[in-house]
Structure 1
Amino acid sequence: MIFQDTEKNIFTLHTRNSTYQMKADPNGVLLHLYYGPRISDCDLSPLIRFADRGFSPNPAEVGNDRTYSLDTLPQEYSGSGAGDFRLPSLELELSDGSWVADLRYVEARVEKGKYNLEGLPAFYAPQEEAETLIITMEDATSHVRVDLLYGVLEACDLITRAVRIENRGDAPVRIRRAASLCLDFQGADLDFITFDGGHVKERGLNRTRLRSGVQSVGSIRGISSHQHNPFVMLCQPGADEEHGTCYGAALLYSGNFEAAVERSQFEDARLTLGIHPFHFCWLLEPGQSFTTPEAALVCSPNGFSQMSRQFHKAIRTHLVRDVWQNRRKPVQINSWEAFYFDYDHQRLLQFAKEAASLGIEMFVLDDGWFGHRDNDSSSLGDWWANEKKLPGGLSGLSAEIKALGLELGLWIEPEMVSEDSQLYQDHPDWVLNPPGRPYTRGRFQLVLDFTRAEVRDYVFQALQALLDSAEISYLKWDMNRALTQVWSAALPTERQGEVYHRYVLGVYDLLERFRQANPNTLIEGCSGGGGRFDMGMLYYTPQIWCSDNTDAIDRLSIQYGTSFAYPPFTMGAHVSAVPNEQTGRSVPLETRGTVALSGSFGYEMDLSKLSDQEKALVARQIRDYQESYDLVQKGDYFRLTAPSADGAPTAWAHVSPDKRTALLCVVSGQTHAGPPFRRLRLRGLEPGLRYRLTGDDMLWPGDVLMQAGYPLPILGEYQCLRLLLKAE
């Protein structure tokens, strides 16, 4: 809910558990007053202090008042070049060569419902479940006007931010930096938490105290990246899963981003989040506007767990647009780790028959089905069936798969092209590369110029012809290299700084076209696994392949870090063969199943190589998935312990909204002699209810399980428990 005090120009945003307040002062500076746990309605202006600070200059409006400086005031959206030397939100290069952005308040209005962003992902809500605040600022000299957009989804504790920049002057302006979010804290005793790693080791949690200066993470790879995720947290130093105030901030964007936080000389802090300024320069002609991606904020007064559940709820109900949202997603098996490129029609059918006999419901044909592709060096862009492998084409395969009672899914990589392809021979200028420069290749691939409508049209038409010819229920949309030599033949010199962003807009445009044309087809995102796991992609692809690393023990850490912002149902998680191809580790099939069953479930293996006992276990895992689907996919998720290198078990739980049913999952680490007896304290149960656990005759009061804990048996190395709790 949004309150506007028109006399004092105070704006207060309330969610269920948080309050956000700002004020336009008499000089037109929009001051940030408060963001934190929900408080009573009150003018918080007395929290702002003034003092004469050396080397902090004073704007013209205040004359000789040396106590008023943009360098010392908490601001809602910081400019640059006008006296604030902290992290800027907006940098403008003006036609006279100056770099000054000095924004002052013009007006504000409140609207029912949630704003939307044309061509960009954004949270959505029915009109009665959200409100929008639009605050207009302007740089009086350049006549650049800025609309600060705030969306409030009260029940989810979610506040969204976006910025619309309009050139109302008579000369071109270049935007050099445009953050989606600026958040000032009048104290810097905070921890900064980021989620970092690399390919096959994504989203590991890193926590550090704020130090003087700037700390940042980001990506200049053209994708949000395996290395750093566009979700960060700030929290009190003692905050944990259940205690302390914490702030989560996410950027709904799948390209270059920067999350930066600065601890200033006066012991305050500023967080900015938005498009990375690397190689970014957007030319804004008179009358034109530019819109930043959306940022999303959640403040939890009660630790990380509450923050995560609010993000999970918002993503589930107000971000993803899932054709399977109101029905159970099928259990799938992917062909990749079973035989890579080495298959023919008969082998595929035998593979599918084996899968159907065990209860698997969808067969996904991965790489190698198109052009003349027998390895990863050819045919990307030639989106027609390889008839040596598929004599009847995809339509024939589709009919045979359907006859087995299975649905058919398909792997594609639309953003790439191989030099050994008909598409490249016909259109070599369709790749990103400056003239006269040798190519930089990744996985033998070049990147198609998705800034160009004709390129997107070709890809859409070629793939849509396939989808029209066969019954395909699922697409795995992959992207297997970072962007280099980022230059478009379709843009003039002065607009080459727009290519990175226009590329992302092109990806979003094509994804939306596929969604509209194929409303019953589920699209799963992928970028070498988790290289583009962000809320922007989730708007178009409601689940994402969490990592190319399918080792169950490594996946504990990957899925743990991912869960801080992203709910389990968004995480593509499969049971793969052992020894694992990434780690060489052998983990029991039951443990591999327990880990994968807490995501979007499936298999990556040659089922014919399993023993009869293992096949029976696969069939049981599939039944477990079907029976616990609503609990895992729609329940509340609780991290009970963090993955540990010392052998301690990793534990988590899924709890139904009414708290009457829960699923406890535990996986042990490496074993050592003389292991301790361990008790596990659960969370999220109803204290007054009594629960019966699988295989346990005792009725356990909820408060006992949460306060005293449940006695874990001593587990062998990489062993697991998966226990259902039901209230009686």
Structure 2
Amino acid sequence: MSIQYNERDKTFTLHTKTSTYQMVVESHRYLLHCYYGDRIEGQNLSFLIQPQDRGFAANPPDAEGDRTLSVDTLPQEYSTFGVGDFRESCLDVRNADGSVAADLRYSEHRIYKGKKALAGLPASYGDPEQVDTLEIDLEDAVSGVCVTLQYSVFEEYDILARAARVSNQGAHTLMLDRALSMCLDDPLPVQKDVITFYGRHMGERNLERTALRHGKIRVESARGASSPHHNPFVILCDAGATETSGACCAFSLVYSGSFMAQVEVDQTDSSRFVMGIDPQTFSWELKAGEAFQAPEVLICYSTNGLAEMSNKLHRFQLRHLVRGPYKTKRCPVLVNNWEATYFDFDTEKLLALAEAAKEVGIEMLVLDDGWFGRRNSDTTSLGDWFANTEKLKGGLGCLGRRLRGMGLEFGLWFEPEMVSPASLLMDEHPAWCLKMPGRANATSRSQCVLNMGLAAVQDYLFDCMAKIIREADLAYIKWDMNRSITNAYSDELPAHRQGEVWHRYILGVYALLERLVQAFPELLIESCASGGGRYDAGMLYYSPQVWASDNTDAIDRLAIQYGNSFGFAMKTMGSHVSVCPNHQTGRTTPLTTRGLVAMAGSFGYEMDLTRLDAQEKRQIKRQIAQFKEQWAIHQLGEYHRLTDPRKNHWFAAWQVVSEDRCISLVTIVVREPIANPPVLYVKLRGLEPTGVYTDEQGGRYTGAALMSAGLVLPPMRGDYPSVQVQLRHI
């Protein structure tokens, strides 16, 4: 079993294929962290913890004068506030008397095969032969608070899944002012970097690497969604770690609401990493006998650099997080009508687009915003989920039947979480909107936010959406969210519980998604939030495809997709070929380049296909045929970032390798052509060193030559030229 408990040493040891994670219960029953790193067999690692008398460090009352024992200097497995640890806490408990404190000591533990679901939350899953679980109870004797630390070990993938459940076993009602998911204290001196991903709408997932320093480095979102601005995915790595060397540890929060992730270096040069729900937008009343479940964090360890870490996480997501048929099945090649028509469409326009799509080999038409209520602009009708029959003669059912008669599947856009002030829904149910008493509601994109924590709202949306899915026989829905949460107040909750609104909101989103997944198990759901504003591990549990960005410019997408690749499987990334000049940047890029960039993700189109000339139609037809032939390598293969767009402004290159290492595709996009350029080489990865590979021109190379000496890039000229090199093992 991958989890071992040594009764004599009081150590818990968790082994994955290449890593070891160890904790110890010390003599006062504090649960301390010993080690997380390369796999070590048969060793009590608590010798790494060296208690010392630190000036002014608070000592617990049962330490009997031992000034070396302080929760402020020892590596805690789950930190609390109020009893002497002045570093960042995971748990702030406001007791019935108003005091804020919890002194957690080890009580008991359980080890078992398999993994339990987390109530109301997305989480990783696995059969008993694939995963082992450890639960450790830590109790506060005064308040009756019990924190159950949950550790599940996916040994094959070097993945630990961590979470925490807080229960009130006392007699009085408590308030949680924060309840984070995990704490990781490293007692060893710090020489590490932290990698985070920042951005903005249409400029998501920019990598930023920072050396750890004394104090706190923090990323967070208080927007009600994980947001395009910061992502709940963080990497801690050796200062010298590269794509192919060095220890790396990724933390991916399986949660789609407001979050916080922070690394802190303290007075002893030790580090503390914490992650979970953003405390600024959270509080929770916990009555006697009740429990609160914090979200899960997936922790992935690699001893051989960032590429190995990413590929472990990619494989794990597609096997133990994403659900449904599309976790390994190819998603349909679709065309979305948004950039083709915006709000200006009718049935005949859509059918003309569908005819053009069918001609080139596209498999699905997706009807985006504007099909419902009186929606002719973004100022009205959100929440009125019935077809605009002035645009769609005969309604959605008729359109769906005509599309299926042409051999196409039908997909539809929704924005379920929002409501327009100018809508029938707002007129009929004004109390369903998040709104603070005495304050005018802030709008964004002319819309307000529904209180997704209300069962009545969830029921209304499910009934509307389920009726349309059945009527139109939808194969796909695009679930959008186009604004951050403001005016977070619920009439259903008393004043002292308004801090629950934010978390109850995302629980309501999850509840509605789960109802849809269960009612329509074959339905493909693509998550979107103004593009990539809610691209997180939580949404992958319901949505095997996520729209990475509203920016469809192929050159901008190089950086966006580079950032995405660190934490998210390429199959989950929606990526489309759009028209030029591009609608977001005005840039003109060759159709070949747009196609090769989009093939890195779940492939589709975002353009008016009825305006294509004969040559463009032939080219798109070839692109689609090429993608259908290669999709499994692009989406399920091993992915390698060969260049860094922050450093290489000349060209971008990436590589995918089939699982059997027999086929490799190398894609190169020239960003800035140079006159009289030198010969360019790029070193490949993931090949069989002694194997012989041939390219489409008949060149023969050993895998070792391609990985150590490199592939010679063909000369390319013009604006943003590109090429794909296919290598086959012979």
Per the normalisation by structure 1, the TM-score is 0.99
In the TM superposition, what is the alpha-carbon distance from 1:462 to its structure 2 partner?
1.1
Residue in 1 aligned with 2:705? 704
Residue in 2 aligned with 1:147? 148
Instruction: Select the residue among 559, 565, 577 that pairs with 1:557.
Output: 559
SS in 2 for 1:533: coil
Residue in 2 aligned with 1:92? 93
Residue in 2 aligned with 1:602? 604
Residue in 2 aligned with 1:175? 176
Residue in 2 aligned with 1:392? 394
Amino acid at match of 2:521: P
1:329 partnered with 2:331: yes
Residue in 1 aligned with 2:442? 440
In the TM superposition, what is the alpha-carbon distance from 1:7 to its structure 2 partner?
2.5
In the TM superposition, what is the alpha-carbon distance from 1:265 to its structure 2 partner?
1.1
CA displacement, residues 472-496 of structure 1 (integer Å, 9 cap, x when unaligned): 1000000000000100111111211
SS in 1 for 2:199: strand
Instruction: Select the residue among 344, 349, 357 that pairs with 1:347.
Output: 349
Task: Find the aligned partners of 1:23 and 1:17 in 2 and give their Cα distance.
Answer: 21
Amino acid at match of 1:351: L
1:546 partnered with 2:548: yes
SS in 2 for 1:337: helix
Task: Find the aligned partners of 2:134 and 2:24 in 1 and give their Cα distance.
Answer: 13
In the TM superposition, what is the alpha-carbon distance from 1:699 to its structure 2 partner?
1.1
C-alpha contact (below 8 Å) 1:115/1:151 kept by paired residues: no
Show the 5 A alignment for 1:580-599.
580-599=582-601
CA displacement, residues 639-677 of structure 1 (integer Å, 9 cap, x when unaligned): 111114653211111111111111111111112333222
Amino acid at match of 1:604: E
Amino acid at match of 1:666: I
CA displacement, residues 17-44 of structure 1 (integer Å, 9 cap, x when unaligned): 1110001111011010000111222101
In the TM superposition, what is the alpha-carbon distance from 1:342 to its structure 2 partner?
0.3
Residue in 1 aligned with 2:245? 243
Amino acid at match of 1:634: L
1:50 partnered with 2:51: yes
In the TM superposition, what is the alpha-carbon distance from 1:60 to its structure 2 partner?
1.2
Task: Find the aligned partners of 2:641 and 2:94 in 1 and give their Cα distance.
Answer: 47
Task: Find the aligned partners of 1:50 and 1:377 in 2 and give their Cα distance.
Answer: 62
In the TM superposition, what is the alpha-carbon distance from 1:8 to its structure 2 partner?
2.1
1:493 partnered with 2:495: yes
In the TM superposition, what is the alpha-carbon distance from 1:279 to its structure 2 partner?
2.9
SS in 2 for 1:503: helix
Amino acid at match of 2:203: K
Task: Find the aligned partners of 1:327 and 1:131 in 2 and give their Cα distance.
Answer: 28
Task: Find the aligned partners of 2:299 and 2:693 in 1 and give their Cα distance.
Answer: 35
1:663 partnered with 2:676: no
Residue in 2 aligned with 1:371? 373
CA displacement, residues 319-360 of structure 1 (integer Å, 9 cap, x when unaligned): 001333453321100000001000111111111001101110
Amino acid at match of 2:72: D
1:233 partnered with 2:243: no
Show the 5 A alignment for 1:249-268.
249-268=251-270
C-alpha contact (below 8 Å) 1:114/1:151 kept by paired residues: yes
C-alpha contact (below 8 Å) 2:324/2:521 kept by paired residues: no
C-alpha contact (below 8 Å) 2:324/2:522 kept by paired residues: no
Task: Find the aligned partners of 1:301 and 1:646 in 2 and give their Cα distance.
Answer: 26
SS in 2 for 1:201: coil
Residue in 2 aligned with 1:628? 630
Residue in 2 aligned with 1:163? 164
C-alpha contact (below 8 Å) 2:326/2:544 kept by paired residues: no
In the TM superposition, what is the alpha-carbon distance from 1:498 to its structure 2 partner?
0.3
Task: Find the aligned partners of 1:215 and 1:90 in 2 and give their Cα distance.
Answer: 19
CA displacement, residues 251-304 of structure 1 (integer Å, 9 cap, x when unaligned): 000000000110101101000000000031100011110000000101111010
Instruction: Select the residue among 286, 289, 308 that pairs with 1:287.
Output: 289
Task: Find the aligned partners of 1:15 and 1:582 in 2 and give their Cα distance.
Answer: 45
C-alpha contact (below 8 Å) 1:544/1:572 kept by paired residues: yes
Task: Find the aligned partners of 1:654 and 1:397 in 2 and give their Cα distance.
Answer: 39
Amino acid at match of 1:493: A
Number of residue pairs aligned between Structure 1 and Structure 2: 727
Show the 5 A alignment for 1:620-699.
620-644=622-646, 647-694=649-696, 696-699=697-700
Residue in 1 aligned with 2:66? 65
SS in 1 for 2:400: helix
C-alpha contact (below 8 Å) 2:352/2:610 kept by paired residues: no
Task: Find the aligned partners of 1:693 and 1:56 in 2 and give their Cα distance.
Answer: 65
Task: Find the aligned partners of 1:84 and 1:673 in 2 and give their Cα distance.
Answer: 61
Task: Find the aligned partners of 2:98 and 2:214 in 1 and give their Cα distance.
Answer: 32
Amino acid at match of 1:618: I
Show the 5 A alignment for 1:145-224.
145-186=146-187, 187-224=189-226
C-alpha contact (below 8 Å) 1:380/1:421 kept by paired residues: yes
Instruction: Select the residue among 493, 503, 506 that pairs with 2:505.
Output: 503
SS in 2 for 1:563: helix
Amino acid at match of 1:193: I
Task: Find the aligned partners of 1:522 and 1:386 in 2 and give their Cα distance.
Answer: 24
Between the aligned residues of both structures, percent identity stands at 49
Structure 1, unmatched stretches of 5+, are none
C-alpha contact (below 8 Å) 2:140/2:146 kept by paired residues: yes
Amino acid at match of 2:649: G
Task: Find the aligned partners of 2:462 and 2:634 in 1 and give their Cα distance.
Answer: 35
Task: Find the aligned partners of 2:316 and 2:647 in 1 and give their Cα distance.
Answer: 33
Task: Find the aligned partners of 2:620 and 2:699 in 1 and give their Cα distance.
Answer: 30
Show the 5 A alignment for 1:420-569.
420-569=422-571
Structure 2, unmatched stretches of 5+, are none
C-alpha contact (below 8 Å) 1:258/1:273 kept by paired residues: yes
C-alpha contact (below 8 Å) 2:346/2:392 kept by paired residues: yes
Task: Find the aligned partners of 1:124 and 1:358 in 2 and give their Cα distance.
Answer: 39
Q: Which runs of 4+ in 1 moved over 4 A?
A: none
Amino acid at match of 2:78: Y
Residue in 2 aligned with 1:404? 406
C-alpha contact (below 8 Å) 2:216/2:265 kept by paired residues: yes
Task: Find the aligned partners of 2:326 and 2:86 in 1 and give their Cα distance.
Answer: 49
C-alpha contact (below 8 Å) 2:174/2:285 kept by paired residues: yes
In the TM superposition, what is the alpha-carbon distance from 1:57 to its structure 2 partner?
1.5
Amino acid at match of 2:506: V
In the TM superposition, what is the alpha-carbon distance from 1:111 to its structure 2 partner?
0.7
Amino acid at match of 1:418: S
CA displacement, residues 545-568 of structure 1 (integer Å, 9 cap, x when unaligned): 000000001101001001101011
Amino acid at match of 1:207: R
Task: Find the aligned partners of 1:608 and 1:397 in 2 and give their Cα distance.
Answer: 18
Task: Find the aligned partners of 1:189 and 1:425 in 2 and give their Cα distance.
Answer: 58
Amino acid at match of 2:120: G
Task: Find the aligned partners of 2:708 and 2:435 in 1 and give their Cα distance.
Answer: 60
Task: Find the aligned partners of 2:219 and 2:671 in 1 and give their Cα distance.
Answer: 30
Amino acid at match of 1:371: G
C-alpha contact (below 8 Å) 1:145/1:168 kept by paired residues: yes
Task: Find the aligned partners of 1:573 and 1:394 in 2 and give their Cα distance.
Answer: 26
SS in 2 for 1:338: helix
Residue in 1 aligned with 2:419? 417
Amino acid at match of 2:243: E
In the TM superposition, what is the alpha-carbon distance from 1:629 to its structure 2 partner?
1.3
Show the 5 A alignment for 1:118-137.
118-137=119-138
SS in 1 for 2:281: coil
1:34 partnered with 2:35: yes
C-alpha contact (below 8 Å) 1:417/1:445 kept by paired residues: yes
SS in 2 for 1:564: helix
Task: Find the aligned partners of 1:581 and 1:9 in 2 and give their Cα distance.
Answer: 62
Task: Find the aligned partners of 1:92 and 1:668 in 2 and give their Cα distance.
Answer: 55
In the TM superposition, what is the alpha-carbon distance from 1:608 to its structure 2 partner?
1.9
Per the normalisation by structure 2, the TM-score is 0.99
Residue in 1 aligned with 2:11? 10
